Amino acid sequence: MAPCRRENQAFSYVRVSGKGQIDGDGFKRQAETINRYAKANKMEIVQEFRDEGVSGTKEALDRPGLTDLFVAIKANGRQACDCGERNAHSP
């Protein structure tokens, strides 16, 4: 796990719901959006967490990537997470 040592460092989280979406462009589009946000806010993404083919209707602790993100946040002494807006239907 990469630590967030400075206030301008961050983790990212990406997810696609269906197994058929894993090889699509969803991860790429989400990462591009996150990276644009990070750049505009002078942030450095130090680690990406992902869930492949995991429904957003599952509880947080039933999503391995999201659970790993929570563990990383806690391990780094962070108490908040800046979560960008997500629109499932935007290109």
Give dist(CA 79, CA 47) in Å, integer.
17
Task: Give the model's confidence band at 23: pLDDT under 50 very low, under 70 low, under 90 confident, else very high.
Answer: confident
Give dist(CA 91, CA 89) in Å, integer.
6
pTM, 2 dp: 0.77
72-85 pLDDT tens trace:
988 887 655 555 55
